[in-house]
Amino acid sequence: MSLSFTAAAGGGSVLGLSVFAWLGIATALALLAYLLAAALSAERASAVRASLFIGWLAHAAAIVIDITGLGATASGPRFGFAPALSVTLWLVLAVYLIESRFLPLDRSRRALALLGGAAVALAWLFPGEVHAATVSRWAPLHWVLGIASYGLFGTAVLHASLLNRADRQMRSKQQVGGGAPLGLPLLRLERLTFRFVEAGFVTLTAAVALGWWFASPWRWDHKAIFSVLGWAVFAGLLVGRRSFGWRGPSATRWLYIGAVLLLLAYVGSRFVIEVLLQRPALPA
């Protein structure tokens, strides 16, 4: 196990506290705020939203401190499977905080808060490796685009789950005598879902193309294979929706499969390398 304090030990200090102390404070605050947001009842909407927002801010601070290695003796950014998950959940929660002001999304609040807490704790336990030098000056942009695509597809998965739930509710109410779905606008959710899929596909395409461009030679490793497979699934989904009008469970099934493949591409391969094999990975 590679704990954060092993990398931060011996680092500098900010306002009299070590970097490890600030990272621990940010992680603990985010975890406590997320747990509080999950535990509060829906009737206490203002307290729920305040807890989620505090957790989100503390989560952002933990990400910045951890990834940049602020004040640590080792130079260069630090990254791995757990920080990738942490940034992905942080992006999904950012979209949730915005959309929850306009859509009734409370049923997803507990799951997202618990996932956010788990992600920030996991990033503290497994901070990844220091990348002192990159194979190309374009590598950081490749990483940013890759993580952005994770966040966009993660948000699409969130909307797809809400879409499937609303669709089931509508069908069950029709079977027992009619009625509207429980306040969730199906068409709006469907449009939002595929807007995020389209944005994620564009971002993933740019990330894969950039990685292929600066990689010399191109390696068909697990990360590359799963990334290309995920890209192909999302391309098939978008073509099927435009050409054949795919929607509902048949469309979201493709989204879930593509998201799993994309998750296996970086997070899965890095988890095996960092945790199971415990050896340094080749440059991303």
The answer to whether the beta carbons of residues 70 and 45 sit under 8 Å apart is: no
Residue 141 has pLDDT above 90, yes or no: no
Residue 117 has pLDDT above 90, yes or no: yes
204-248: pLDDT as tens digits: 999 999 888 877 667 788 889 999 999 999 999 999 999 998 888
198-215: pLDDT as tens digits: 999 999 999 999 888 877
Mean pLDDT for 248-268 is 92
CA distance 181 to 209: 42
Residue 283 has pLDDT above 70, yes or no: no
Q: Give the position of tokens 């989620």.
A: 52
1-36: pLDDT as tens digits: 444 444 444 455 555 566 778 888 999 999 999 999
Q: How high is the pLDDT of residue 7?
A: 42
Mean pLDDT for 130-154 is 80
Q: What dihedral angle (degrees, nearest 10) is formed by the CA atoms of 258, 263, 266, 269? A: -110
Which residues are CB-contacts of 166 (< 8 A; sequence separation ≥ 6)?
181, 182, 184, 186, 189
Q: How far apart are the first and last CA of the chain?
A: 21
Residue 262 has pLDDT above 90, yes or no: yes
- Within the chain, strands assigned E span 13-14, 17-18, 78-79, 129-130
Q: How high is the pLDDT of residue 71?
A: 55
Total-model pTM: 0.82
Average pLDDT, the chain: 83
Residue 59 has pLDDT above 90, yes or no: yes
